[in-house]
Amino acid sequence: SWKNLKLKFTEFQKILETNFDTEKLSDIAHELEVTSQVINNWKIKNKVPYKYVVKIRNKIKDQKKQYFSNDYSLGAADLTQIVGSQESLKPIIENLFKIYSIINNQKKYLIISILLFFAFAALHISFFKYPKFVSSAKILPVTNSSASSISAFATQFGVSVGGKDASSLADSKLYPDIIKSRRLASMIIEDSFSTEKFGQNIPLKNILTNQTIKNSASSLMKKIAIKNLLNAIEVKNSKSPLITISVTSFEPSLASDLVRSIIKNLIKLIKIFKLSEIEEKKLFINNRIKEVESTLLKNEDEFKTFREQNRNINSSPALLLEAERFERVLDVQKEIYITLKSELERAQIEEYEDMSIIQVLDGPESSGDVTLSYAAISFLYLVLGVLIGVAIIIMEDWYRKNKSIFIFDYTSKN
């Protein structure tokens, strides 16, 4: 403990000399506010009383707290003087020169730090810098009017068969999500592409996984390829219906080809969704036709029987009214039957027509290398090297001026 601490006078004198520039016995006596005779007795016995050790220890701690404010910064009073007087620029200049002097005296740390970070820059450029090219295209989804009319017709009967609402996968609002879907990506990775690095007509799954054709057939390699492809795709949907598709790749031609492949497979996938909807609509219409036709035939047979049993229908007002009811029901059912047949024909035409789903406003166009240039990387590492070097110098200077605190702490624990 500190109460049992016995510090040798020679060590005590060295600490005072380091922190207070106090070497003579008279100066030490003045610092501790004792007589020179007392100091001389300590020197003869080569030990210092505990309370004076604590006193010096507290002084050094106070010096440590005020170190940065005294050596590297200005207080509130100094800032007030700066605003009020030009002479207050003097402490700023003095502090700047003081910091410069410290850095200049220990510039070996700065040089070593800069050289080290230049080595890191060389490693970065040699092994971790890969060129990246971005290709973008703008597309406009096209709404299919005939599909909408069928959907509206089906809605009249209280049945929802898809259409312009967001519940339909063919809805244009979902195009951005479809472009970033695994289903579309699984179609794209099967396409072949030509690159300078991998050669001609190589499946995209091989390019994205850097694997041979034999190895890329595994499900794991396909998952990796899909993940890499989705990470390279960016979709932006502004307030307008236009959708911007961007792809990042290691070659500009590959980036453009990937955008074209995305558009091509998107059209193919949307057509699959639309054809599936048309099949649903056809199934619904066919079922309704069967129901209406069955009811129509039944009512026609009932009306036929009614006319056969009542040949003098004109002589009875009640029979005339009943006949009019039969005819009215038959007219409605005939109209429904004809409408259903007409809509079924439209659906069949739509199934085989060449549907225009997407219009391309701006085709794929590749940019230059979007990664940092060699000069930018070198400058970035230079700045980091300077900052780290200056930080090391300031920390080393602080430790040198305050190391006695650590000596006291270490001695007290032991």
Amino acid at 131: P
Structure tokens at 316: 């009875």
CB 382 within 8 A of CB 118: yes
Contacts of 111 (CB under 8 A, 6+ apart): 389
Do 148 and 164 touch, CB atoms closer than 8 A? Answer: yes
pLDDT at 243: 92
| Pairwise CA distance, residues 24 & 12, whole Å | 13
pLDDT in tens, 80-134: 444 444 555 667 777 777 777 777 777 888 888 889 988 888 887 777 767 888 9
Secondary structure (3-state) at 177: helix
Q: Which pLDDT band holds residue 410 (cuts at 50, 70, 90)?
A: low
pLDDT value for 4: 42
- DSSP secondary structure letters along 58-73: HHHHHHHHTHHHHHT-
> Which amino acid makes up residue 287?
N
| Confidence grade of residue 2 (pLDDT, cut at 50, 70, 90) | very low
Residue where the block lists tokens 């230059």: 368
Residue 240 token pair: 């307008």
Q: What is the pLDDT of residue 154?
A: 53
Across 345-361, average pLDDT: 79
Chain length of the chain: 414
Residue 1 has pLDDT above 60, yes or no: no
Residue located via tokens 């080809």: 257
- Which backbone phi and psi does 348 adopt, to 5 degrees? -70, -35
349-360 mean pLDDT: 76
Query: Which candidate, 364, 366, 372, places its Cα nearest to that of 134?
Result: 366
Q: What residues contact residue 307 under an 8 Å CB cut-off, 6+ apart? A: 313, 323
pLDDT tens digits for range 31-78: 777 888 888 888 888 878 877 777 777 777 776 655 445 544 444 445
Amino acid at 362: D
Q: Which residue has the higher pLDDT, 137 or 98?
A: 137
pLDDT above 80 for 266: yes
